[in-house]
Amino acid sequence: VRIGVERLVLGGRVLPDAVIEVDEHGMVAVLGAGNGAGAVDVSLGTAVAGAGNAHSHAFHRGLRGRTHGDGGDFWVWRQAMYALAGRLEPDTYGRLAEGVFGEMLAAGWTAVGEFHYVHHRPDGTRYDEPNAVGLALAAAARRVGIRLTLLDTLYLTSAPGERLLPEQRRFGDGDVEAWLARWQELAGAAGGPSDADDTVTIGAAVHSVRAVPPEAIARIAAALPAAVPLHVHLSEQPAENAQSLAAYRVTPTRLLADAGALSPRTSVVHATHLTADDIDLLGAAGSSAVFCPTTEADLGDGIGPARELVDAGAALALGSDQNAVVDPFLETRALEAGERLRSGRRGRFSPAELDDARSTGGYRALGLAAPLTVGGPADLVEVDAGSVRTTGSDPTQLVLTATAADVLRVVVGGRVVADRGMLVRAGPDGRDPAALLAAALEELR
């Protein structure tokens, strides 16, 4: 497959008349520019690299537009979230995820990391297929054509030393060895990590230091193959830091470091309330920090030290988390907006740095090679550079002016998978993500 792009915005530069040759695995074989397109299979106008959504809980989409009258804080919102989690079954969750992944794809997220912990029946017993829910999520991603890293999550306690609450029972495997055995089965059943032809990768996650004791974190950090991405919620709330200090006398970041869980394959999600020592540890480890700015704003979490983390050596990625907003451009802009609000300065990140967090940073966190590099995924997003929002923009600053409404065609693995908001690969009933969502949400009311 040969894809021609009139203006390809990549690495802070505009490549005119770019041609991308895609191999049989959907990876970039050759990337050239300015050499006359010749015959191409797909011809795009202005395009940017694919976007990696490094943190999602697909089912939270069911709360969008329904909790804003509740007031309270993160912990109040969590009660509504748990009530919804309790109603999910593998088939209904699979259909909801298909709508959510479809919305993401049409919005210009070409890859997603699903932080998945709703593993078992509501009473905590296993389904006949112990990975029924995870496999339903993988099937949903394949149906719409988004690239998925399924981050199967270990969840053991409600707080340090405390048993799971009744509404958390379905998240737990009982102990780390049972989780590891189920994870191995999932990795085998879903095609395994880095199967060249597949768009599904199996990663792993520790829910948080609230939900997993240090010995179990150390066990999985040592037991998982080195290439497997490992994610963990980190210091989203001051209460988590207080619990960690009370139970273990160290911050959550120090606890992860002492457990051998901080490395370049590690992604810490939120990283909102950190000490200077925490920032140094994450930077020295070369870990990724996944900011979820629209969620953190919605839940009143706070604004994390993004610039300081990057300056210390950490990589940056973005996530849609609760999916109240599914828009890679708004997420990227909110990262810089948070920096400006906390620092009183503009341009804390350059447009190229922001675009890198949106694309390469997200892919890195998901265990994927950078999109639109030779050997990396042929994933890209065509953007309307002449819309009412974007017209007049320097193409290298489109990331600061476009929204998901400006996304035209979306290409994953060299194939067009969405076109002006509609899914291309799904069956005749499944082309409109809004219709998929409406049907799936109705089932869960």
Q: 133: which 2 tokens?
A: 């829910």
Catalytic-residue membership of 270: yes
Q: Which is nearer to Zn ion, 280 or 321 (CB)?
A: 321
How does DSSP classify residue 443? H
- Give the residue closest to Zn ion by C-beta: 321
Catalytic pick among 173, 278, 301, 321: 321
Which amino acid is residue 253, in one-letter code?
T
Q: Which is nearer to Zn ion, 103 or 321 (CB)?
A: 321
Task: Report the alpha-carbon distance of residue 403 to residue 390 in Å, rounded.
Answer: 9
Angle between helices 132-144 and 90-107 (to 10 degrees): 30
Q: Which is nearer to Zn ion, 321 or 355 (CB)?
A: 321
Count other C-beta atoms under 10 Å from residue 46's C-beta: 23
DSSP string of 262-284, one letter each residue:
-STTEEEEE--S--HHHHHHHHH
Catalytic-residue membership of 207: no
Q: What share of the chain is helix, strand, coil (3-state, %, to 5)?
A: 40, 25, 40
From the list 370, 378, 367, the residue with the least C-alpha distance to 29 is: 378
Q: Which is nearer to Zn ion, 58 or 370 (CB)?
A: 58
From the list 137, 320, 317, 111, the residue with the least C-alpha distance to 199 is: 111
How many residues lie near Zn ion (CB under 5 A)? 1
Minimum gap (Å) between residue 218 Cβ and Zn ion = 22
Q: Which is nearer to Zn ion, 236 or 379 (CB)?
A: 236
Which listed range, 15-23, 305-313, 315-323, 345-353, lies at the site for Zn ion (CB under 5 A)?
315-323
Which listed range, 97-105, 206-214, 313-321, 394-402, lies at the site for Zn ion (CB under 5 A)?
313-321
Q: Which is nearer to Zn ion, 321 or 406 (CB)?
A: 321
Q: Chain-centre distance of CA 77, in angstroms?
A: 21
Phi–psi pair at 70, nearest 5 degrees? -85, -20
Catalytic pick among 231, 270, 298, 356: 270
Burial 328-339 (b: 16+ CB within 10 A, else e): bbbbbbbbbbbb
Q: 344: which 2 tokens?
A: 């009183």
Site string for Zn ion, 317-336 (x = CB under 5 A): ----x---------------
Which amino acid is residue 328, in one-letter code?
P
Angle between helices 176-189 and 132-144 (to 10 degrees): 30
Task: Report the alpha-carbon distance of residue 391 to residue 423 in Å, rounded.
Answer: 26
CA-based radius of gyration for the chain: 21
Asked whether 421 and 80 are in contact (CB, 8 A), the reply is: no
Which listed range, 106-114, 136-144, 314-322, 385-393, lies at the site for Zn ion (CB under 5 A)?
314-322
Task: Report the alpha-carbon distance of residue 333 to residue 347 in Å, rounded.
Answer: 11
Minimum gap (Å) between residue 96 Cβ and Zn ion = 17
Q: Which is nearer to Zn ion, 47 or 81 (CB)?
A: 81
Task: Report the alpha-carbon distance of residue 221 to residue 255 in Å, rounded.
Answer: 13
Task: Report the alpha-carbon distance of residue 152 to residue 166 in Å, rounded.
Answer: 21
Q: Which is nearer to Zn ion, 321 or 379 (CB)?
A: 321
Instruction: Provide the annotated active-site residues.
Output: 270, 321
Q: Using CB under 5 A as the criterion, which residues of the chain lie in contact with Zn ion when the complex forms?
A: 321
